[in-house]
Amino acid sequence: MATVSDRTIGRLSLYRRFLRDLRADGETHIFSHQLAALAGGTAAQVRRDIMAIGYSGSPVRGYDIERLLTSIGQFLDASQTQNVALVGVGNLGRALLAYFVGRHPTLSIVAAFDKDPAKANRVIHGCRCYPVDDLKVIAHEQDIRLGIVAVPAPEAQSVANLLCQAGVRGLLNFAPIRLWVPEHVHVEDIDVTMALEKVAYFARQSEAEREPSE
């Protein structure tokens, strides 16, 4: 209903993780400024983000962690688990499987694909691997709606095409290229090279501030 910005979505995802940790520690309530300190924003921003999803806190006790988690879940998550396909079972792909499989309540990597026949039909970190040729069939069988592109750049576009043809509606792309996809498919890029170059740039900037050349 309400239009919520891309950044707010990201922050809600972040808040949720801190809230889960707090709940695990036995906490029941939290104030906006506490959550802001954990997540690295301002209290006003936290309040605005929470308001955007239609949850209200109490001026005395702050936010009820359990109920806030429920609200964020209702907002961010689908009503049922969304199935994800991973394409590319190299080092990165295996790291993603190790990190995600069985860990996420509402997003599940249910199948992995690789062009290397030696990887097909093996189970890696609890996830079954298939030859890329089977993508379309498996994607329909398993109702896969999201794809992760973890193949080298030269293969990424053809993998994206396969995933789109198989009916996915969103891609998480690790390849350092721009993917061309149908308009209704959402692409989120993780560009490690860009991130490292940004770190290098801003690290030098802060160094320059501390040690002015004159």
Partner DNA sequence: TAGATTGTTAATCGATTAACAATC
Among 184, 212, 213, 214, binds a copy of itself (CB under 8 A): 184
- H helical segments located in 89-148: 91-100, 135-141
As a whole number of angstroms, the distance between CA 83 and CA 144 comes to 5
Task: Record the tokens describing residue 211, joined without a space.
Answer: 């040690």
Q: What angle do CA 12, 6, 182 make, to 5 degrees?
A: 130
- The residue (of 99 and 202) whose beta carbon lies closer to DNA is 202
Residue 44 binds which entry of DNA, a copy of itself, none, CB below 5-8 Å type-dependent? DNA
Query: Which residues from 3-32 bind a copy of itself, rule CB under 8 A?
Result: 6, 9-10, 13-14, 17
Q: Closest separation between CB of residue 128 and DNA, Å?
A: 40
DSSP designation for 133: G
For position 43 contacting DNA by CB under 7 A, the verdict is: yes
Tell me which of 51, 98, 153, 195 binds DNA, using CB under 7 A.
Answer: 51
Cα angle 10, 12, 14; round to 5? 75
Q: In terms of CB distance, is 6 or 183 closer to DNA?
A: 6
- Tell me if 118 sits within 8 A of 101, measured CB to CB: no
Q: Dihedral angle at the C-alpha atoms of 178, 155, 124, 96, nearest 10 degrees?
A: -20
159 lies in the site for a copy of itself, by CB under 8 A: no
Q: How many residues bind DNA (CB under 7 A)?
A: 24
CB of 115 to a copy of itself, least distance (A): 17
16, 23, 47, 115: which one binds DNA (CB under 7 A)? 47
Q: How far is the CB of 17 from DNA (least distance, A)?
A: 18
Sign of the Cα torsion 37, 40, 45, 50 reads negative
Nearest C-alpha neighbor of 87 from the set 96, 78, 77, 79: 96
C-alpha Rg value of the chain to the nearest Å: 20
- Compute the distance between CA of residue 187 and CA of residue 146 in angstroms, rounded to an integer: 10
Q: What residues numbered 146-185 form the site for DNA, per CB under 7 A?
A: none
Which x/- pattern, by CB under 8 A, does the window 51-90 give for a copy of itself? -------------------------xxx---x-x-----x
| 146 is an interface residue for a copy of itself by CB under 8 A | yes
Query: Footprint of DNA on this chain (CB under 7 A)?
Result: 5-8, 31-33, 41-45, 47-48, 50-51, 55-60, 62-63
